[in-house]
Amino acid sequence: MTFVLSWASNVLIEGWNSAAILPQMLVNCGLGRHSSIVHIAGSATENTWQVQVTHFIWSNPSLRLHSDFLPVVCQVCRSYQSFVKSKQTGDSGGPITFICHGKVNGTLCKAMLKFSRPPTLVPMAQPPVDNWLVEDIEF
């Protein structure tokens, strides 16, 4: 409810551009976490109508990495919540590897998952703020 009130206050009453204010509202409000938000804005120029679609995606390094969900159960050993993030090598935009720490017949499971951020997804701010990624959708 606070998101709706904040949006109404900033956009409808104070006259802010919704595309400009939305990133800051996402950081300050809990709405949208564990989900995504699509912002659709239209503007008219002489004889044409332009539509801009922006997809805001909440990402979390241990739950939902780059919009991909980390599996709850390992498909190899069937261990529950057994994936642990390995030490990341390279730059912060590189692939991130998760290693299963479950056991199969007393031996450590060797299952690995690797996640890379798609090139169309960029951090909402530099440095990255509150795990939000942005994707401009063109059609």
Of 8-12, 22-26, 52-56, 106-110, give the lowest mean pLDDT range. 22-26
Nearest to 79 by CA among 56, 43, 111, 50: 111
pLDDT at 1: 57
**Is the pTM above the cut of 0.85?**
no
- Which tens digits make up the pLDDT trace of 24-45? 777 777 666 777 888 888 888 8
Q: What residues pair up with 99 in beta bridges, in sequence order?
A: 84, 112
Domain locations in the chain as residue ranges: 1-61+118-139, 68-117
